[in-house]
A = this chain, B = another copy of it.
Amino acid sequence: MNHSEQDATRTRLLEAAGIVFAEKGFNSATVREICLRAGANVAAVNYHFGDKIELYVEVFRRSMVLAQEAEAEQFLLPPEQALTAIITGMVRRMQSSEEGAAWHVRIMAHELAQPTAALDRVVQEVIGPRYASLRTLVSRIIGLPVENETTRMCVLGVIAQVVHYAHARPVISRICPDMDFDPDRIGRHISTFSIAGLRAIAASNTATQTEHQEVP
């Protein structure tokens, strides 16, 4: 079997499935809609992928690989500038050209609402490594070890702000209809906000290790 990209209808099925799965999720998406959108027969999914779920796993895996960035270069910058670069990159990548989040974000939203078996693999293969590298960067900024509950919460806090603009978009756009979703502006804000937060955590940590430090 030649699985290179030249297989026309296989590729069309993957593209169509990406759109439909992003909108409906695995369960509510139908192979008939996918095949119709791909201009293929109903049996095409079973012929080319065996299963509906195997098609989904392939789509989900590809979407997350696509969501990755070049990375690498920005770790040469000083830590705080590197963090700003990473944050801005993430915000930009999670936002599709038009209104709404990128399709790989919408698939992940369905996975968060109702995880499938494919989530384990994707977390381990692509999200895990990205989380780890961001964690070493944050641990360098706040001066705490990598394996530390506070470090973890700091990383999650940064990620939280970034993904919120993508995942919670349906609510945000309803609450503030005239919101400006410019990725650079959002990225800059999250960076300023988060770096100050990290510095405060670092300060509260150098002062006393165990006791909770009231912000002075």
How far is it, in angstroms, between the C-alpha of A160 and the C-alpha of B158 when the chains are bound?
Answer: 9
In the assembled complex, how far is the CB of residue A154 from the closest CB belonging to chain B, in whole angstroms?
7
Taking a contact as CB atoms under 8 Å apart, the answer to whether B200 and A192 are in contact is yes
Q: A61 at the A/B interface (Cβ < 8 Å)?
A: no
How far is it, in angstroms, between the C-alpha of A152 and the C-alpha of B180 when the chains are bound?
Answer: 10
Taking a contact as CB atoms under 8 Å apart, the answer to whether A164 and B171 are in contact is no
How far is it, in angstroms, between the C-alpha of A110 and the C-alpha of B170 when the chains are bound?
Answer: 11
Taking a contact as CB atoms under 8 Å apart, the answer to whether B193 and A197 are in contact is yes
How far is it, in angstroms, between the C-alpha of A173 and the C-alpha of B179 when the chains are bound?
Answer: 32
Q: How many copies does the complex hold?
A: 2
How far is it, in angstroms, between the C-alpha of A122 and the C-alpha of B201 when the chains are bound?
Answer: 36
Q: A36 at the A/B interface (Cβ < 8 Å)?
A: no
> How many chain A residues touch B (Cβ–Cβ < 8 Å)?
64
In the assembled complex, how far is the CB of residue A7 from the closest CB belonging to chain B, in whole angstroms?
30
Taking a contact as CB atoms under 8 Å apart, the answer to whether B164 and A179 are in contact is no
Q: A165 at the A/B interface (Cβ < 8 Å)?
A: yes
Q: A120 at the A/B interface (Cβ < 8 Å)?
A: yes
Taking a contact as CB atoms under 8 Å apart, the answer to whether B201 and A199 are in contact is no
The residue that A165 contacts in the complex, of B156, B169, B204, with Cβ under 8 A, is B156
Q: A82 at the A/B interface (Cβ < 8 Å)?
A: no
Q: A113 at the A/B interface (Cβ < 8 Å)?
A: yes
Q: A157 at the A/B interface (Cβ < 8 Å)?
A: yes
In the assembled complex, how far is the CB of residue A67 from the closest CB belonging to chain B, in whole angstroms?
13
In the assembled complex, how far is the CB of residue A108 from the closest CB belonging to chain B, in whole angstroms?
8
Q: Which residues of A contact B (CB under 8 A)?
A: 23-25, 27-28, 80, 106, 109-115, 119-120, 123-124, 127-128, 131, 149-150, 152-154, 156-157, 159-161, 163-165, 167-172, 174-176, 179-180, 185-186, 188-190, 192-201, 204, 212-213, 215
6 pairs of A and B residues whose beta carbons are closest in the complex: A196-B200, A160-B164, A193-B197, A109-B113, A27-B28, A123-B174
19 contacts between A and B (CB under 8 A): A24-B27, A24-B114, A25-B114, A28-B114, A106-B113, A109-B109, A110-B113, A111-B170, A112-B171, A113-B113, A119-B174, A127-B171, A131-B175, A157-B164, A160-B161, A161-B161, A192-B197, A192-B204, A196-B215
